[in-house]
Amino acid sequence: MMHKVTLAGLAVDPATNTPIIILKSEENEQTIPIWIGLLEATSIASALKNIKFDRPMTHDLFKNFLEMQNITVSKVEVCDLKDNTYYALIHFLSEEKAFSMDARPSDAIAIALRFSAPIFVDEKVIEKSKTRDEAGEPLDTSEQGKKWAEYLENLSPDDFGKV
């Protein structure tokens, strides 16, 4: 069974400095945290704040391409959780057919936000997320990773549009 969710928040895990998206079930307010990459977090944050850049980011470029092909996104599903890795599907509609593609949840959600498409989470993902032992993906301790973590943590709405 699929549960419709909303994006309840975007935060940084204080233990790992890794961005987390928090999905919340509309039915029972169950939350599902998903650890994501810094670039995807920036893309999601810009979509949430409806920030437009002078040049398209990757998810915006993909949206532009889909629109040029008369393809829309009907929904996104976070469909599985295996070995602390979440899996998602993006469902597309064209004039000729409906089809879906495998995607990382962060990319799928970034695309869903751009199309105002609903987001769903499979019941088994909700159940598995309740019993997770480990917290997220490993921290990127490289100098580049630390810079991105600091950048995202200090990001404010005034910073958008400065490219």
Residue ranges, the chain, pLDDT below 50 = 133-138, 162-163
Question: What is the pLDDT at residue 162?
Answer: 46
Question: What is the pLDDT at residue 142?
Answer: 67
SS3 72: strand
| Domain boundaries 2-133, corresponding CATH code | 3.10.690.10
Strands (DSSP E) along the chain, which ranges?
2-13, 18-25, 31-35, 72-82, 85-93, 98-103, 119-122
In angstroms, the CA 115 to CA 64 distance is 11
Domain limits, the chain:
2-133
Inter-CA distances, 134 with 1, 42, 57, Å: 25, 24, 31
Question: What is the pLDDT at residue 135?
Answer: 43
Question: What is the pLDDT at residue 14?
Answer: 86
Question: What is the pLDDT at residue 147?
Answer: 67
Q: Which pTM does this prediction carry?
A: 0.78
Render 86-127 in DSSP notation, one character per residue.
Answer: EEEEEEEE-SS-EEEEEE-HHHHHHHHHHHT--EEEEHHHHH
Torsion over CA: 32, 136, 147, 39 (sign): negative
